[in-house]
Amino acid sequence: MSAFMKLKPTLPVHNAVKAIVFDMDGTLSVPQTWMFKAMRDAIGLRDPHMDILTFVDELPSQKLRDEANMQIKNVEARAMAEMQPQPGLVALLKYLTVHGVSTSICTRNLIKPVRHLILKFVPEECDRFDHILTREFRPTKPSPDPLLHIAGQLDIKPKNMIMVGDSYDDMACGRAAGCATILVRNETNGALFETWGHLIDAAVQDLAEIIDLVENGFSKRDRN
């Protein structure tokens, strides 16, 4: 992708932004860096390279899978109680609402924490998420399937959609689906630029920065 999308494209290389899809944990909410380690400890996952959901899916019995899922839910319940909104969340959602840009959520979390975030931190007039895909939708990120599903439901092309997230899974999902990608920077994900920088079109530290990116457009050099 040689240049970023614009809300109202002025150059042939720009694509209109019709939809933005957000990850939740660490994207719409402030990162809780303790959470994933707590999940791994709770289910006995020692391999740091093994995906948590894949590990649970591959447990040898339904009883073990159910027990592991319950442990994960307990950690998520604690995280939900401590959840805080990402800086710039309300400003960005208000902007997208005024300009009629579709918003959706694609998360590997459950629907309850998503509903909690929306109820607690999203103004009622901005609660217009067209699609909310949780880990009940399979395959999950980093597969492109969730974003392709959302694009299909909205009847738009992936090139007119942006994936906003804070992890490799988010960036890989967006790139594979043909969407633009925006990384929400935090204190733990800087290494993504070193190994997976080719998946990232731009990066922000405050969600409100996305407003200028959509308005003005940018090239890949802006991710530095």
Catalytic residue numbers? 23, 25
Q: Which stretches within 45-190 are classed as H helix? A: 52-57, 62-81, 89-98, 111-121, 145-154, 168-177
CA-based R_g, the chain, Å: 17
Of 130, 127, 131, 124, residue with least CA distance to 145: 131
Residue 169 and residue 145 in contact, taking contact as beta carbons nearer than 8 Å: no
What is the C-alpha to C-alpha distance for residues 157 and 122, in angstroms, rounded to an integer? 27
Helix axes 34-43, 62-81, angle to 10 degrees: 150
DSSP secondary structure letter of residue 179: -
